[in-house]
A and B are shown apart, each in its own frame.
Chain A
Amino acid sequence: MDPARRLGRAQIDVLAQLGVSTVLLGGIYALIAVGLTLIFGIMRVVNFAHGEFLMLGMYVAFWAYSLWTLDPYFVLFVSIPLFFGIGYLTYVLVMRGVIHASHNVQIFTTVGLSTALQNVALVLWTGDFRTVRPWHSSVVIRVFGTAFNLSQVVAFAIALGLTLVLFAFMKWTHTGRVMRATAQDHDAATLMGVDTDKVYRLTFAIGIACVGAAGALVSPLYAVYPTAGLQFVLLAYVVVVLGGLGDMVGAMLGSLIVAAVEVVGSYFFGVAWKEVCYFILFIAVLVFRPAGLFGQRGAETLGV
């Protein structure tokens, strides 16, 4: 083939691949971030244990796969109610006590919870790196010189679906409206007869159910080990701040932006720079647009 033409074609392939990688990686970040943005946006609680619930979700998928060869997509149907329950219990046992305390107390509590969960996993399942290998994790789809993994495409599709469902739930259902009202003004909502404790319980449970589902979906793609959550949790914060707290669509867009910064930064400047790139973006957003790139409701209660 003519080298000049091949070069042109190759460049297009590279750009296409970077684009595809951005979208798919963004999907994974969005999966993890939607639950976080819900909890962060409505309860104003910085949940540092979010990554550990993701890790637990991955372990559920791992054990279901290795004990009964259940596909992670099937496990999803068990994980969502299971993690809804875990979230509900965690709220009742741990979070309720600190929900009206200062942010510092909440941070200490969730960091403590995070460390405790990591160590429980370490004791129960050791520090070994486990993998889930269902058939779809090794299926590669090739389109016009780009290549991607089937599990990743499914994860992206479900992330998109989940975001839209949550968005619709928040916007059009009565419960969603009550949740938004509580986020905007906790005291006024109480005066209107809203049971805010119930709202928080539900919010936390839904948020944890989302991340439990995320754990099942990312399990075919990443190694499962006790500190697996740390790999993603800082990133999820960047995403949430970028997208605006409590904004589902913002979280989706924020995920895509972070993924784009990461992919493009890694390609052009080297992987070592990827975190520098997106944390500069993070700081810039905090300085210039503290309410997130797309603005948000109730930012004033954050004191940012």
Chain B
Amino acid sequence: MHRRTVVTVVTALAVVLGAALAGVHGQSLSGEYKIGVLEPLTGPLAGEGKRHLEGYEIVRDMINERGGVMGKKLVFVAADAPDPTAAASEANRLITREGVKIITGTFSSRLCGAASEAAARHNVIYWESSCVDPRFNKRGLKTVFRTEIDATGFGWYNIEFIVKYLAPRFNTKPNQLKIAFLSEDSSYGQGVTESARARAKQEFGMQEVAAEYYSFTSINDFTPIITKFKQLNPDVVHHIGYTNDAPLFWRQAREQNFLFKALVHAGATGYGSPDFGKALGNDANGVFALLEPGPGFRLDALRPEGQKIEREFREAVQKRTGSYPFGGHQLAGGGLWLLKVVLDRAKSDDLDKFRDAVMSLDLPVGSVINGWGVKFAENGQNANERVQHYMLQWQSGQLVTVWPEEFTTNRAKWIPLGAWDARK
């Protein structure tokens, strides 16, 4: 190495080190408040992880334009968590080296458990914005909070939609409705399906005609299942699928002329993925998927303060990415905004004060980004009925918001679905 290069490197190191030290000491001096952001930025989950980081950054800038948090400028230390081991070790590093008192992240259900466990050991607040693993807040930890609903919340909403919206339009009482459950067998599919099954049966007495699980990594043919379902003749098929199996099921259901009244899915994979529309074109018409708000979402249905922040959020996303917010932006951005709301109230990152502020929050639906409201339970989970979710439907190659009706300008079509060739 040349001497000059060595000098440059050493100088650079000294500057970085000095800045880092100043950062630690200077949290109160320079008026910055630092939090850790943990997302998978490399590896197979990176695409969605980067979108989350983008969502956080957009809302961070919005927060700073509005006075920051606790009177300080909000800054991030971002760390890469491609797998659970890295998630735990990076969480440790953020806490011990960077001295953060709050970590937010990590989107994947594979990562949030390990990362939050590491944070809990240091008594550091863990603010999760999107993982849906139901076990996340069932560990008795006082330090974990989740703004998004979990997989069981998806099941809750799907049944809500079937009972409140579909059943009256089928002229059927919920307890006369025949429902067939089909799902891939990961913790996501099982979480959604089992909570939907329990609610359908216990609360509404629906008639469950089948509950089938399969592995999405090895399913090559749905015709045996479709043949069986045809005989059972369900009104509603509740299918939680991934992106290779959902198009296969739908294509084969069409081939077998399997007629039912509605198919309901939840989440951004499978029927909720843009790949589904690409795979099937107009044949996709009629499928329902529970997601964050999409095209057709009515701003004026929100409360005034919610309208304002949602409009500003969309404009900020539009400015940065040139498009309507994706799910990742909405979950990360919505989650970070709530953190600001809590910090404004707690005026401290002291765990007890922070927790009291979280628990005392009580905002109705329509108050913040995504039209959400807030009411946390003791286990740190935001309430299902406050984290408003929306039913989207495939209509002519596009997923559009159709429910709840007060939130959208679009209306659901093909209820009941009718013949396969008649859904144009």
Contacts of A17 in B (CB 8 A): 223, 227, 256
In the bound complex, what is the Cα–Cα distance between A138 and B247 (angstroms)?
12
Q: Is B398 an interface residue (CB 8 A)?
A: no
Among A99-136, those with CB < 8 Å from B are 122, 126-131, 133
Q: Is B322 an interface residue (CB 8 A)?
A: no
With A147-B256, A222-B244, A223-B247 known to touch, is A122 a contact of B44 (CB < 8 Å)?
Answer: yes
Contacts of B213 in A (CB 8 A): 270-272
Contacts of B254 in A (CB 8 A): 140
User: What is the CB-to-nearest-CB distance from A4 to chain B, in angstroms, rounded to a whole number?
Assistant: 15
Q: Which residue of A lies closest to B245 (CB)?
A: A223
Q: Is B47 an interface residue (CB 8 A)?
A: yes
Report how many residues on chain A are interfacial, defined by Cβ distance under 8 Å: 41
A272 is contacted by which of B214, B251, B279 (Cβ under 8 Å)?
B214
B44 is contacted by which of A28, A127, A266 (Cβ under 8 Å)?
A127
A129 is contacted by which of B212, B224, B279 (Cβ under 8 Å)?
B279
Decide: B243 and A263 in contact? CB cutoff 8 A: no
Decide: B255 and A225 in contact? CB cutoff 8 A: no
Q: Is A283 an interface residue (CB 8 A)?
A: no
Decide: B221 and A225 in contact? CB cutoff 8 A: no
Report how many residues on chain B are interfacial, defined by Cβ distance under 8 Å: 33
Among B130-165, those with CB < 8 Å from A are none
Contacts of B275 in A (CB 8 A): 128-131, 223
Q: Is A231 an interface residue (CB 8 A)?
A: yes
User: What is the CB-to-nearest-CB distance from B262 to chain A, in angstroms, rounded to a whole number?
Assistant: 22
Decide: A222 and B278 in contact? CB cutoff 8 A: no
With A18-B224, A21-B224, A266-B224 known to touch, is A225 a contact of B214 (CB < 8 Å)?
Answer: no
Q: Which residue of B lies closest to A224 (CB)?
A: B244
With A140-B255, A231-B217, A231-B244 known to touch, is A127 a contact of B47 (CB < 8 Å)?
Answer: yes
Decide: B255 and A148 in contact? CB cutoff 8 A: yes
Contacts of A272 in B (CB 8 A): 185, 212-215
Q: Which residue of B lies closest to A146 (CB)?
A: B256
In the bound complex, what is the Cα–Cα distance between A222 and B47 (angstroms)?
23
Query: What is the number of contacts between chain A and chain B, taking CB atoms within 8 Å?
Result: 99
In the bound complex, what is the Cα–Cα distance between A265 and B99 (angstroms)?
56
With A149-B255, A271-B214 known to touch, is A223 a contact of B220 (CB < 8 Å)?
Answer: no
Contacts of A122 in B (CB 8 A): 44
Contacts of A128 in B (CB 8 A): 275
Decide: B244 and A129 in contact? CB cutoff 8 A: yes
In the bound complex, what is the Cα–Cα distance between A232 and B255 (angstroms)?
22
Decide: A267 and B227 in contact? CB cutoff 8 A: yes
In the bound complex, what is the Cα–Cα distance between A262 and B47 (angstroms)?
35
In the bound complex, what is the Cα–Cα distance between A1 and B291 (angstroms)?
43
Which of B220, B256, B278 has the largest number of chain A CB atoms within 10 A?
B220
Decide: B218 and A18 in contact? CB cutoff 8 A: no
User: What is the CB-to-nearest-CB distance from B232 to chain A, in angstroms, rounded to a whole number?
Assistant: 12
- Chain A 268-287, CB-CB to B under 8 Å as 1, else 0, gives 00111011000000000000
Q: Is A230 an interface residue (CB 8 A)?
A: yes
- Chain B 203-229, CB-CB to A under 8 Å as 1, else 0, gives 000000000111101111101110110
Decide: A133 and B281 in contact? CB cutoff 8 A: yes
In the bound complex, what is the Cα–Cα distance between A259 and B220 (angstroms)?
10
A271 is contacted by which of B212, B248, B279, B283 (Cβ under 8 Å)?
B212
New A-B pairs, 9, CB < 8 Å, besides A14-B231, A274-B214: A131-B275, A147-B255, A222-B244, A223-B247, A266-B224, A267-B228, A270-B213, A271-B213, A271-B224
**Which A residues contact B (CB, under 8 angstroms)?**
10, 14, 17-18, 21, 25, 28, 122, 126-131, 133, 138, 140, 142, 147-149, 222-223, 225, 228, 230-232, 234-235, 259, 262-264, 266-267, 270-272, 274-275
Instruction: Identify the 5 closest CB pairs spanning chains A and B, nearest first.
Output: A266-B224, A271-B214, A131-B279, A267-B224, A223-B244
